[in-house]
Amino acid sequence: MTPLEEVTARLDQALMRLERAASGRTEREVRARAELEQALAQLKTDHSRLSEAADTVSARLDGAIGRLRLMAGD
């Protein structure tokens, strides 16, 4: 094998390794993004549910405070 052929073969191998590394990273990024989107959707659902619960608690506390004020004569 001539020196040019050896260099060309090594270059081809290096390019193949780079392509494999790039495609592997892309696949990992796609999976990571999907996982993050799923986590974000779950967090949005949790936030909505907790916000509703906070509103309910706030309304009940306002009612209780109002009744206590009536009982105290304020």
Q: Tell me the whole-structure pTM to 2 decimals.
A: 0.58
How many angstroms separate the CA atoms of 20 and 49, rounded? 44
41-71 pLDDT tens trace? 999 999 999 999 999 999 999 999 999 999 9
15-41 pLDDT tens trace? 998 888 877 777 888 889 999 999 999
How many angstroms separate the CA atoms of 50 and 59, rounded? 14
* CA distances in angstroms from 19 to 8, 12, 15, 23, listed in the order given: 16, 11, 6, 6
